[in-house]
Amino acid sequence: MALNQPNIIMISCDHLRADFMGCSGHELIQTPHIDRLARKGIRFTQAYSTTPICVPARGMIMTGLEGHDLGLTTYHEGFPVKETLPQQLHDAGYQTLAVGKMHVYPERCHYGFDNMILWEEGRQIGKPYGMNKGYGDYEQWLAEQGYPGMAFTHGMSINEYSMTPWNLPDYLHPTEWIGYQACKEIKRRDWTRPLYMWASFTAPHPPLVPLMKDLYLYDRDDMPSPVIGDWADKHPAFHQLELSFDEQMTDKQIDLAYRAYFALVTQVDRQINRIIGTLREEGMLENTWFVFTSDHGDNLGDHHLWQKSNFLNGSCHIPLIITPPLRAEGDQLDELLGPNWVPGKVNNSVVGLQDILPTLCDIAGAEIPDHVNGKSLLPLVKDPTDRVRDTILGEYGNTGRRSLMLTNSEWKYIWYEEDGFELLFNILDDPNETRNLASKELNILEKWRNRLIDILSRRENDPAVSGKPLAGSSIGYELSLIEKEKRINTYPYYHPMGLR
The pLDDT value recorded for residue 1 is 42
* Nearest partner of 354 among 71, 57, 113, judged by Cα: 57
β-pair partners for 11: 199, 292
Count of C-beta atoms within a 10 Å radius of residue 188 = 9
DSSP 398: S
Within-domain flag for 449 = no
**HSE value, Cβ hemisphere, 13 Å, CA-based, for 411:** 19
Domain-embedded: residue 67: yes
pLDDT digits (tens, 9 = 90+) for 349-403: 999 999 999 999 999 999 999 999 999 999 999 999 999 999 999 999 988 889 9
Do 74 and 57 meet the contact criterion of CB atoms below 8 Å apart?
Answer: no
- Spatial CA neighbour of 364 closest among 347, 376, 374, 353: 376
Please report whether residue 134 resides in a domain.
yes
Considering only residues 199 and 234, tell me which one the structure prediction assigns the higher pLDDT: 199
Query: Across residues 65-90, what is the average pLDDT?
Result: 85
Least Cα distance to 47 among 434, 322, 360, 371 occurs for 322
Tell me whether residue 455 is in a domain: no
Q: Residue 273 burial (CB < 10 Å; 0-12/13-18/19+)?
A: middle
Which pLDDT does position 477 carry in this prediction? 63
- Please state the domain count of the chain: 1
461 or 294, which is more confident: 294
Percentage of the chain lying above the pLDDT 70 cut: 91
Segment 51-66, tens digit of pLDDT: 999 899 999 999 999 9
Helix (H, G, I), strand (E, B) or coil at 289: strand
Predicted local confidence at residue 2, as pLDDT: 45
Q: Is the pLDDT of residue 129 over 90?
A: no
pTM assigned to the model:
0.94
Helices (H) and strands (E) in the chain, counts: 15, 13
Q: Is the pLDDT of residue 492 over 60?
A: no
Query: Is 2 inside a domain boundary?
Result: no
Average pLDDT over the chain reads 91
- Residue 49 in this model has a pLDDT that exceeds 90: yes
454 within domain boundaries: no
For 350, the enclosing helix (H) or strand (E) is strand 345-352
Distance CA 494, CA 72 (A): 23
Residue 310 scores a pLDDT above 60: yes
By mean pLDDT, which of 79-83, 279-283, 349-353, 427-431 is the weakest?
A: 79-83
d(C-alpha 372, C-alpha 434), whole Å: 35
Domain of 106 in residue numbering reads as: 7-387
- In the three-class reduction of DSSP (H, G, I as helix; E, B as strand; rest coil), residue 318 is classed as strand
Spatial CA neighbour of 26 closest among 161, 305, 224: 224
Q: Using 50, 70 and 90 to split pLDDT, how confident is the model at 235?
A: confident
Q: Give the Cα separation of 433 and 378 in Å (integer).
A: 30
Please give the Cα distance from 205 to 157 (Å, whole number). Answer: 10
Query: What is d(CA 447, CA 463) in angstroms, rounded to the nearest whole number?
Result: 20
Does any domain span residue 122?
yes
Q: Is the CB of residue 204 less than 8 Å from the CB of residue 14? A: yes
In a domain, 435, yes or no: no
Residue 187 gets which letter from DSSP?
A: H
Of 105, 26, 403, 59, the C-alpha closest to 235 is 403
Q: What is the CATH number of the domain that holds 126?
A: 3.40.720.10
CA torsion sign, 451 to 452 to 455 to 459?
negative
> Which of these ranges, 240-244, 375-379, 401-405, 463-467, has the smallest mean pLDDT?
240-244
Greater confidence, 486 or 383?
383
